[in-house]
A and B are shown apart, each in its own frame.
Chain A
Amino acid sequence: MERSRNNILGRIDWLTVLMYLLLVTFGLINIYSSAYNEAHPRLFDFSMRYGKQFYWILLTLVIATVILALHPRFYYFFAWPLYLLSLLLLVMVLVIGATIHGSTSWISVAGVHIQPSEFAKVATALVLARYLSEYNVTLEHFRDLVKASLIIIAPAALIMLQPDMGSAFVFIAFILVLYREGLRAEVLLIGFLFIVLFIITLIVDKTIVLGILLGLALLIHLLVEKKPLLTVKGAVILVATGGILWLGMTLLHKGISLYTVIFLSLLAGTVILLPFIYRLKLVRTAILYGVLILAMLFTFSVNYVFNNILEPHQRTRINIVLGIESDPYGSGYNVNQSKIAIGSGGFTGKGFLRGTQTKFNFVPEQSTDFIFCTVGEEWGFLGTFGVIAFYILFLMRILYLAERQRSAFSRVYGYSVFSLFSFHVLVNIGMTIGLFPVIGIPLPFFSYGGSSLWAFTILLFIFIRLDADRLEMTF
């Protein structure tokens, strides 16, 4: 490949830029169709959503040019200031922000609404890249892992306060970055197990969950230690303490649930077992025991979080995906209508501007979070397949670019870009086809909205800029 130190244009990865332009263009076409109005057919009509989106796209070209003109060193040195600035903005938005749809996530500056949470993603990616590329930092050290986690959690927590759960959940995507940079696979696995536990706890009665966990722990113990006698002893102690507890409470005429009995007897069992564990150095037993107790506390907290922290509409959305609740007029309405719209597209779709379900307001939030419906209805399975396949190509290209970086900074940043885009694409499409709760996050480059379009563009073009200088990067 020909490279010239003076000509940046020659070093840019034009393939990625081309993919970006295709996505943005196809997005605009769909916004045009979803907001189409016979009275305002002109694309450039600023009173229509597509008109606005069109001007915003033009503006992104300016933004992209500015980003490409800056030296990579700029992003390296300004990572922390930008991050702190975005935290400040997130705090400010809580104080002076405008409330739209129940969450305070917008700042109005000179008539333009800005959503700081969109830009916080970029800043977090930069700081994470900067921190993880420091010489002494390795995720194998617990302390560094905690620091890296704090970098991610701080903006997410502020966004939760708005409250905008969807945008906050996006920060989960950074786990993939940590994983690539050496996070222990067990952590991911345990995290995954806890998610499974979360879902099971919501569906099944928690007493049953507790019973299963207990049985599972004893089984694992038996398999790992291969000392049946010890396992039986442990089980007997647990059952005995539980029995005594239950008997005592029943005699005292205090109502006590089976759940509490199991839990308390486990705690009591801990006290009895602890000396044995210590004396016999049963390390694996201790770990297993710890995980079991944590899991039990977790089942307890799931119900608490679910019933007390989540908003009613969020509970309903989760319930609908889990099939516990069906409500085609309320919260399930979006998803149901969205599925009908996509499903009605058939194999080849109804054709451009011919969609009937997505016209008017059949599918709510249709040009923003549910833009994929328009694709599904008007372009059919060919369209949806094509869009998903193209996104996958785009994501794989970014992954490829990330891995070819020589500097850790660029690589970590590239992974952040990949992770954030993956999360947005998969979760957004997942919710339109009813495989994921509706958490209201945009589809990159497709969804209507200036803030998200600009933020995604900035995110991508910084990486393109870093990639262009990958051979010269010394940090």
Chain B
Amino acid sequence: MKDTSQYAGRRYVVAGLVILIALIYIVRLLTIQVLDKSYRLSASNNVLRHITQYPARGLIYDRNHTLIVSNEAAYDLMVIPSQVESFDTAEFSALLEVPEKDIREGLRKATVYSRLKASILVKQIPAVTYARLSEKMYKYPGFYVQPRTLRYYNRHLAAHMLGYVGEVTEKTIQKDPYYKMGDYIGISGIERSYEKELRGRKGVKIYLVDVHNRIKGSYRHGRYDTAAVVGANLTASFDAGLQAYGEYLMNNKVGSIVALEPATGEVLCMVSSPGYDPELLVGRNRRTYFPALVQDTLKPLFNRAIMASYPPGSTFKVVNALIGLQEKVLYPSYKYECHAGYYAAGVHVGCHIHRSPLNLVEAIQISCNAYFCNVFRNILDDPKFPTIYQSFENWKHHLEMFGFGHPLGIDLPNELSGYLPDTSYYDRYYHKNGWSSLTLISMAIGQGELGFTPLQMANLAATVANRGYYLTPHVVKEIEGRDSINRRFREEHLVGIDRKYFDIAVEGMDRVVNGEPGSGSTARIAHIPDIRVCGKTGTAQNPHGKDHSIFMAFAPKDTPRIAISVYVENGGFGATYAAPIASLMIEKYLKGKITRTWLEDYIRKTDLIHGEKQK
């Protein structure tokens, strides 16, 4: 056996080390258990009260710095069941103006949740009741009042975009330990997507409370207190005036208006109709109105602008024209005949009566179906590709570059992707190699399987306005205390089509609105005397009822400041309602006032919901 006896003395070092640490502990214990009275004081009556310091939620302004959303005070009555002594529930209920059984029931629930943690017993007590209550609080140990803030809407608009605030759910609490029972959280819209910025940070103040429920001072001189940090203010990108006007025009109609600033991708307005007054979902109101809004058959809570999916109708001709030009299967000089429609191999696509043949610009101006059936077949039967599978994929790739078929990534929750079919869809529907460009011909004019959201349509208008690129649409342009919003909103997305082709499409869209009278322009009604509006009408076939009226546009032609899409469900032709609404919105935004009051009256008096037109 080897000898390590020269190290045997180290036992004293080792033992000394352990004993030394133990001595330090004993001194520490002597301090906190015997010498320092504050621990005993704070615990003996079990009277540490943690009062959460709720920060005010960030304010929301519109792009012109008009205050839209602010806060107002409300008071929550809190209870810590383990501290409650027997009290007169009848008197208490009279004081609070809350039924006695609600108090008993609330107390029972709070006890089930936790005997030691505070629960909310009565929410959002008005200031008057609070004043009366605070005088009598000494009678009710275990209860205290917690100041809170509720949303206050200075302008009653843009409910879908702004979203609403509500209490956190059990699930959220489990996922994110920041939230505690009874906290508020953004549930939809900007309130949700910018929750982290708006909420600020909660603080906590710890008080010592005596047996009579009176605060005796701060615990250990506030050493463990943390200050609340107020939420950051946001500047939204929308224009309150334009938003209000859009909601005004869409009154009694179902549909959506989305307007973008092409150069930045900022959302200038986003109307989803029917909407609701955001105040209906604040605090106690919500319990009353939320169920009604949910049950409404017109789905006012549904944000059509980013969630509804409609066929694009004839507006899609612009896209097919651009793809055809880029793929060099279409040249502006190409002329196609139209004899009230397109006929080929037993397939017939109708068209209105107009002069024939037309070139590309004229075909856009007049919205000739036959012309674009030819364009679409040129694209799908392009000899560059061995089979239709490749040419279809190529076409679909172009559409994806435009932002169709997937969410654009707007800073709002629940944006949907619309719909783009793929080859397997047709393989299932027909059979492998059992379909051709003729089978898909309805997509030439934007009908059939395609589905775009109004936001995607507005983004198309912005892309054309920019002649070839778009910036991801977003509803918040500034966050207080931050240099910039997310960088992804500053990237230009090129759609992969040359600028010169866009110039041709723009020429066509110009003529749609500004063509000579009698030349066949489809939306002369959108003409504004001194603003060069470029647009394209669309009519989406609707299997469930009357067609949807669609219009996409931008203006002014050479220095675009607004791109817009308008959908009016069951509105018929694009030129009937969508085009005038878009035109009025553009005039309102660019000029600030409406000169064509007759047009405004016509739209305003139209009621498409209650089944009758009151002209």
Contact = CB atoms under 8 A, between A and B. Distances in A.
B11 A180 contact: yes
Contact of A176 (B14, B82, B226): B14
Most chain A Cβ neighbours within 10 Å, of B2, B40, B46, B114: B2
Interface string B341-368: 0000000000000000000000000000
B385 interface: no
Interface stretch (A33-41, A74-82, A247-255, A324-332): A324-332
A340 B42 CA distance: 7
Contacts of B590: none
A368 interface: no
B2 A138 contact: yes
A2 B21 CA distance: 37
B22 interface: yes
A394 to B, nearest CB: 11
Given A326-B224, A328-B224, A392-B18, A343 B24 contact: no
A403 interface: yes
Contacts of A385: 26, 29
A181 interface: yes
A32 B116 CA distance: 21
A182 B33 CA distance: 41
A138 B224 CA distance: 52
Contact of B42 (A181, A344, A384): A344
A182 B26 contact: no
A135 interface: yes
Give the bracket for the number of chain B residues in contact with chain A: 35 or more
B293 to A, nearest CB: 36
Contacts of A435: 24-25, 28
A339 B223 CA distance: 14
Contacts of B26: 384-385, 388
A57 interface: no
Nearest to A329: B204
Contact of A395 (B18, B29, B177): B18
B18 A340 contact: no
Contacts of A156: none
B1 interface: yes
Nearest to B30: A381
Most chain A Cβ neighbours within 10 Å, of B39, B42, B44, B116: B39
Contacts of A179: 10, 13-14
Contacts of A392: 18-19, 22
B327 to A, nearest CB: 48
Contact of A343 (B1, B43, B177): B43
A362 interface: yes
Interface in B34-87: 34, 36, 38-40, 42-44, 46, 48, 50, 82
A341 interface: yes
Nearest to A411: B4
A357 B46 contact: yes
Contacts of B28: 433, 435
Contact of B33 (A135, A330, A343, A429): A343
Interface in A49-65: none
B15 interface: yes
Nearest to A361: B116
B339 interface: no
A171 to B, nearest CB: 17
Contact of B22 (A328, A330, A426): A426
B8 interface: yes
Give the secondary structure class of B's interface.
helix
Nearest to B18: A422
B531 interface: no
Contacts of A399: 11, 14-15
A418 B14 CA distance: 10
A148 interface: no
B25 A360 contact: no
Interface in A118-151: 133, 135, 137-138
A396 interface: yes
B546 interface: no
A14 B226 CA distance: 54
Contact of A344 (B24, B39, B115, B226): B39
A237 B33 CA distance: 57
A304 interface: no
Contacts of B32: 339, 342-343, 433
Interface string A319-353: 00000001111101000100111111111000000
Give the bracket for the number of chain A residues in contact with chain B: 35 or more
A389 B43 CA distance: 26
A407 interface: yes
A450 interface: no
A408 B11 contact: no
A376 interface: yes
A430 interface: yes
A444 interface: no
Most chain A Cβ neighbours within 10 Å, of B11, B29, B114: B29
Given A343-B32, A381-B34, A384-B33, A362 B116 contact: yes
A343 B32 CA distance: 5
A263 to B, nearest CB: 31
A137 B4 CA distance: 11
Nearest to A376: B33
Contact of A426 (B7, B18, B34, B177): B18
Most chain A Cβ neighbours within 10 Å, of B1, B4, B11, B43: B43
Contacts of B24: 435
A340 B43 contact: yes
Nearest to A132: B4
Contacts of B18: 392, 395, 422, 426
A332 B224 contact: yes
Contacts of A327: 226
Interface string B426-457: 00000000000000000000000000000000
Given A326-B223, A344-B44, A357-B43, A407 B25 contact: no
Contacts of A180: 4, 7, 10-11, 14
Given A360-B115, A360-B116, A399-B11, A433 B224 contact: no
B259 interface: no
A380 interface: yes
Contacts of B8: 403
Contacts of A341: 43
B206 interface: yes
Nearest to B24: A435
A328 B18 CA distance: 30
A135 B204 contact: no
Given A336-B224, A392-B19, A356 B43 contact: yes
Nearest to A409: B1
Contacts of B48: 340
Given A181-B7, A399-B14, A344 B43 contact: yes
A329 B179 CA distance: 12
A343 B10 contact: no
B7 A182 contact: yes
B46 A356 contact: yes
A181 B4 contact: yes
Most chain B Cβ neighbours within 10 Å, of A135, A329, A430: A329
29 contacts: A179-B14, A180-B10, A180-B11, A182-B4, A326-B223, A327-B226, A328-B206, A329-B50, A329-B204, A340-B43, A343-B33, A343-B38, A343-B40, A344-B43, A345-B33, A347-B33, A356-B43, A356-B44, A357-B46, A360-B115, A361-B116, A380-B33, A384-B26, A388-B25, A389-B22, A396-B15, A403-B11, A418-B14, A422-B18
Given A388-B26, A388-B29, 12 more contacts: A137-B2, A326-B224, A328-B224, A328-B226, A332-B224, A340-B42, A340-B48, A344-B39, A361-B114, A391-B22, A426-B21, A430-B21
Interface of B: 1-2, 4, 7-8, 10-11, 13-15, 18-19, 21-22, 24-26, 28-30, 32-34, 36, 38-40, 42-44, 46, 48, 50, 82, 114-116, 177, 204, 206, 223-224, 226
What 3 A-B pairs come out closest when comparing CB atoms? A343-B39, A344-B43, A328-B224
